[in-house]
Amino acid sequence: MATKYERIADALREEIRAGQLKPGTRLPAETALAEQYDTSVPTIRQATGVLVAEGLIEKQHGRGTFVRKAPTRVVRDNARHQWEKDRARASEAERLTTGATERDTGLTINDLVFEASYEQVPATAELAGMFGVPEGATLLQRTYRTRYREERTPLNRSQSYLVLDMIASNPDLLREDQEPWPGGTQNQLWTVGIELDRVVETFQARPPTPEEVEELGLPAGVSVIILRKVGIDTTDRVVEVADVVLPGDRTELTFTTKLTRW
């Protein structure tokens, strides 16, 4: 015999699954639900709290409790690291299996706004260790935020680090006033004689910190994806490290691994 609030949560969850409560619908008020299920308001709040944590409903202070819509997802693909010509090789099989979300959302890069800021910072012990430079060495830190046109909360926040000494031969890379990294990081690094060989991406999912909730405008119950991207050049040096914070409910990542046999 489950507890009272669990039974209520189950009942509501079932109504949502069955489609009786459609996305966007407002649930009855807490007092109404309390009467309907013959219990008190705190017990109702406990039940709805479960569904919030599951990401099924969303509470809005003063407005009501609503069934959440499936959020718009943004697809990231590791093919973005490749040159354009290579991307064109994407075949029908890929489109069948991964293109669906992109088609559904109908979003293109033009619907997004990018913001960037540059700063010179000393290397932390962790970053210094990865780059193989002394702790405190000067790094160029670029902070990116991506948002939908006409939305305030960004879709992601990314901080990328380069060792200043490695890129000093091209002062344009340090100019704040120009479009950040036209042609992409790979091309930019090429202009200072660095040839990127491969990118290693590591990531995990965890609940957001309060700061991340604030910055990304996350509803309760969603997690963030933490992605660390490490760029390695043809001489096996770590030349770029980037930490990206992505909202878990709005992000879908795709990676293609080509298999080799020699």
Q: Where along the sequence are the contacts to DNA (CB under 7 A)?
A: 3-6, 27, 29-32, 38-43, 45-46, 59-65
Kindly give, in sequence order, each residue whose CB lies less than 8 Å from that of residue 58, ignoring residues fewer than 6 positions away: 52, 65, 66, 68, 219, 220
Which residues in 150-209 contact a copy of itself (CB under 8 A)?
Answer: 186, 196-209
Which residues in 31-60 contact a copy of itself (CB under 8 A)?
Answer: 53-55
Kindly give, in sequence order, each residue whose CB lies less than 8 Å from that of residue 167, ignoring residues fewer than 6 positions away: 140, 173, 189, 192, 194
Closest CB to a copy of itself among residues 6, 35? 6
Closest CB to a copy of itself among residues 174, 205? 205
Contact 23, 67 (CB under 8 A): yes
Closest CB to a copy of itself among residues 82, 170? 82
Closest CB to DNA among residues 25, 98? 25
Shortest approach of a copy of itself to residue 256 CB, angstroms?
A: 5
Q: How far is CA 246 from CA 85, 103, 156, 180, 226, in A?
A: 28, 21, 5, 20, 6
Nearest to 67, CA basis, from 16, 11, 9:
16
Select from a copy of itself, DNA, none the partner in contact with residue 31, using the beta carbon and a kind-dependent cut-off of 5 to 8 Å. Answer: DNA
Closest CB to DNA among residues 5, 144? 5
Residue 251 contacts a copy of itself per CB under 8 A: yes
At 139, which helix (H) or strand (E)?
A: strand 138-148
Binding site for a copy of itself (CB under 8 A): 53-55, 73, 78, 81-83, 85-86, 91-94, 96-98, 129-130, 132, 186, 196-210, 220-225, 228, 230, 232, 236-238, 241, 248-249, 251-262
